[in-house]
Amino acid sequence: MTATRPAATRVFRPPVGYRLAASVRALTFSPYDPCARVAAGTFWWATRTPDGPATLALRPVGGELLAEGYGPGAEHVLDRADAIAGLRDDLTGFAELAAAHPLVARLAREHGGLRMPTTGQVFPRLLRAIFEQKVTGKEAYRAYSATVRHFREPAPGPLPSLLLPPEAAAVAATPYWVFHPFGVEQRRADTLRRAAALADRLERCADAADATRRLTAIPGIGPWTAAEVVRVAYGDPDAVSVGDYHVPNTVAWALAGEPRGDDARMLALLEPFRGHRGRVCVLLAAAGLGAPKYGPRAPIRSFARY
């Protein structure tokens, strides 16, 4: 039976103005993410630890942040609860860098309660990032959600709909054609299976730079996927998603008033913020900024029909 009472708890005192939902949004794929969600003001996050499955619940109580751990891995997730909440995010020097551009300086003030989380886990974020490669967000979420439900394993704790992310070994052992009905073509399925086979080695990377080197050595994984992973797994504030369809245009429009930009232009505009370039992109997204849209939207496809 799934435990409904936490195995252990911790209490943190976040900085004034801290915003839990905004900070952990990077850990959820959508409001319906089967592995992580915000419900009634509480953030629920299911994961696997060396000690076994665990669920972390983060809940603001007064001026404090209550962390509750469920399952065999409860102590493990509680040891990292403040990092997962973004409370270990180091903003040293960012205010000075932000002052170089009036918009960035304003967003840094207005979104000062947004902190970047650090999960310490590579494969769960890599699973999602591979599904996001060169498809629409709806297509990616559909594939991710269907995959999690295919390997269905309930997470510990009181939330019956919460599921654990699939075990890397199980994904590695799954034939590529199993993913086909989920809308995943063989290229992404094979990339996922290769990455899953190397998951143990990836989890032992020393830092974001080491992880980026190992990730991009895997066929099918480039700088975009690596940046999406290390920004969350290591809380890397400098990780920029080179190769993104939208981000270069957003940066060019927000920082230079140019409706379109390529990766080179994006990196040039972000250079004054080196060390926190990824943080600037996070702030632009949090503010809902985007370049003018031209032409039709990308179509939503389904490989399951082919």
pLDDT at 109 over 60: yes
pLDDT of residue 67: 98
Q: Which helix (H) or strand (E) holds 61?
A: strand 52-61
What percent of the chain lies above the pLDDT cut of 90? 92
pLDDT at 138 over 70: yes
CB-facing half-sphere around the CA of 202: CA atoms within 13 A = 28
pLDDT in tens, 268-303: 999 999 999 999 999 999 999 999 987 555 555 555
pLDDT at 120 over 50: yes
Pairing outcome for strands 52-61 and 36-39: unpaired
Give residue 1's pLDDT band: very low, low, confident or very high (50, 70, 90).
very low
- Map out the domains of the chain as residue ranges: 247-286
pLDDT in tens, 42-59: 999 999 999 999 999 999
| Tokens, residue 208 | 């974001």
- Say if CB 198 and CB 169 are below 8 A apart: no
Q: How far apart are CA 138 and CA 297, in angstroms?
A: 12
Three-state SS for 178?
helix
User: Phi and psi at residue 259, in whole multiples of 5°?
Assistant: -70, -20
pLDDT at 233 over 50: yes
pLDDT of residue 68: 98
Mean pLDDT for the stretch of residues 78-93? 97
| Tokens, residue 103 | 């918009």
Average pLDDT, whole number, for the chain? 95
Closest CA to 218 of 240, 239, 193: 193
- Say if CB 260 and CB 249 are below 8 A apart: yes
Please state the pTM of the whole predicted model: 0.93
pLDDT at 178 over 50: yes
pLDDT of residue 302: 57
Please give the DSSP secondary-structure letter assigned to residue 6. -
- Say if CB 20 and CB 85 are below 8 A apart: yes
Q: How far apart are CA 147 and CA 140, in angstroms?
A: 11
pLDDT at 164 over 50: yes
pLDDT at 89 over 70: yes
What letters, b where the CB count within 10 A reaches 16 and e where it falls short, cover 190-214? bbbbebbebbeebeebeebeebbeb
